[in-house]
Amino acid sequence: MRKLEIFLAFLLVAVMIFAAGCSAKIETHDVSEYKKTLEYKDGFKVMMITDIHISRLTNLEELTIYLTHNINEEKPDLIVLNGDNFFDATKSSVDYLFKLIDSFETSWVYLQGNHDHQGLFEPGYPDETASRMKYSLNVDYPNDGIDGTQNFYVDLMDGNDLVYRLFMIDGGSYTRLNAVKYTYQQIGDSQLSHIEKVQSQETDDSYTSLAFFHIPLQEYADAYAGYVEGKYAGKGENREENYPSAFNSNQFNRLKNAGIRGIFCGHDHINDSIVDYEGVIVGYGVKGTREIYHDEDMMGYLLITLTGEEFSIDNCQSVFVDYDSVVEGK
Ligand SMILES: [Fe+2]
């Protein structure tokens, strides 16, 4: 009996220490600390490159030529690397891509997809590396109580006027579906609450909000079906079914009610539809490289051009430059 009392007392103290340790770790930050700002200009170009999928087997020279060609061709004002940048990669692959993107001296952000952390490095390595780069806008507070590692936003300012707000969201990776199966994760409740809080603190509502994350929402299937039926305006083509987050916790409606007018994802490599769905543009970005499964005629980048309150969205198909001739021409 005495042994049991000692054991229980020890257990209680241990639980209290653990609980105190856990609660002490959460450090909340004002929503303004998640804000980055860039100067807005008419014709501001956001270039979203998704599913680069660098692995240990990637021909980095070929990939560099292709990405360099596309970025130099477009000269964007902001580059969004929207997830699955890496899959079975190493620290040096992460360093390589981020140094390459930084070399264009253009603001950029790194968002993680379901595969990014499946590499030969600790899970936080891409985030930590991105946030140290000169032109990256990434900011993360590891113990802020908000799910995911990317929960920041980029305000495009015309003087003192906010014209566009771009939410950069960690769309999750995998979560348990049942006792034996895993499935795609969804944006967490804490992340949605954070976005709602950010938006509620803005008194001027004349700006336009867009959101970027990797794994599409379940509504993407509905949107595409409606577009094919002629119910919704749109463009592009889905060549595979969509593989969204398995749990629909009302993410679409919460983002819509928070004033998001456009949602841009990757993940499904051979889908490039963009549909005007229930007041929100839901778009796929075309795959960014020829790594892993892809269609050669469905590859390039998504370009969003911002003008006043309007924005145009195009998936730009970019034929893979003739690697041999480029190398020979050196
Ligand atoms: Fe992917």
What are 141-189's pLDDT values in tens digits? 989 999 999 999 999 999 999 999 999 999 999 998 888 889 999 999 9
Give the separation between CA 95 and CA 103, rounded to whole angstroms.
Answer: 12
Three-class secondary structure of residue 274 per DSSP: strand
The conformation of residue 216, written as its DSSP 8-state character, comes to P
Instruction: Give 101 Cα–ligand 1 centroid separation in angstroms.
Output: 19
Instruction: Give 328 Cα–ligand 1 centroid separation in angstroms.
Output: 31
192-to-206, 256, 258, 266 alpha-carbon distances in Å: 21, 11, 9, 19
How would DSSP label each residue in 220-257? HHHHHHHHHHTSS-EE--B-S-----S---SHHHHHHH
Instruction: Give 245 Cα–ligand 1 centroid separation in angstroms.
Output: 14
pLDDT at 330: 44
Give the separation between CA 46 and CA 305, rounded to whole angstroms.
Answer: 6
Q: Is 9 within the bounds of a domain?
A: no
What are 294-329's pLDDT values in tens digits? 999 999 999 999 998 799 999 999 988 776 666 655
Q: Is 3 within the bounds of a domain?
A: no
Q: What are phi and psi of 283, to 5 degrees?
A: -130, 145
Q: Is 25 within the bounds of a domain?
A: no
Three-class secondary structure of residue 287 per DSSP: strand
Instruction: Give 85 Cα–ligand 1 centroid separation in angstroms.
Output: 8
Give the separation between CA 96 and CA 257, rounded to whole angstroms.
Answer: 39
pLDDT at 81: 98
Q: With contact defined as beta carbons under 8 Å apart, do 85 and 118 qualify?
A: no
What are 24-78's pLDDT values in tens digits? 589 999 999 999 999 999 999 999 999 999 999 999 999 999 999 999 999 999 9
Instruction: Give 78 Cα–ligand 1 centroid separation in angstroms.
Output: 21
Q: Is 12 within the bounds of a domain?
A: no
Q: Is 266 within the bounds of a domain?
A: yes
pLDDT at 328: 59
Residue 143: CATH number of its domain: 3.60.21.10
Instruction: Give 15 Cα–ligand 1 centroid separation in angstroms.
Output: 41
Domain tally, the chain: 1
Q: Is 212 within the bounds of a domain?
A: yes
Q: Retrieve residue 327's tokens.
A: 């190398």
Instruction: Give 52 Cα–ligand 1 centroid separation in angstroms.
Output: 8
Q: Is 113 within the bounds of a domain?
A: yes
Instruction: Give 209 Cα–ligand 1 centroid separation in angstroms.
Output: 25
Give the separation between CA 292 and CA 272, rounded to whole angstroms.
Answer: 17
Instruction: Give me the domain span that covers residue 94.
Output: 30-328
Whether residue 284 is predicted with pLDDT greater than 80 in this model: the reply is yes
Q: Is 47 within the bounds of a domain?
A: yes
Instruction: Give 106 Cα–ligand 1 centroid separation in angstroms.
Output: 24
Q: What rounded mean pLDDT belongs to the chain?
A: 90
Instruction: Give 185 Cα–ligand 1 centroid separation in angstroms.
Output: 14
Instruction: Give 220 Cα–ligand 1 centroid separation in angstroms.
Output: 17
User: In which band, very low, low, confident or very high, does the pLDDT at 12 lie, cut at 50, 70 and 90?
Assistant: very low
Instruction: Give 206 Cα–ligand 1 centroid separation in angstroms.
Output: 35
Q: What are phi and psi of 45, to 5 degrees?
A: -110, 120
How would DSSP label each residue in 82-135? ES--BSS-BHHHHHHHHHHHHTT--EEEEE--SSTT-SBS-TTHHHHHHHHSSS
What are 259-280's pLDDT values in tens digits? 999 999 999 999 999 999 999 9
Task: Please name the residues in contact with 301: beta carbons below 8 A apart, sequence gap of 6 or more.
Answer: 47, 48, 49, 70, 74, 285, 286, 288, 315, 316, 318
pLDDT at 2: 41
Instruction: Give 84 Cα–ligand 1 centroid separation in angstroms.
Output: 5
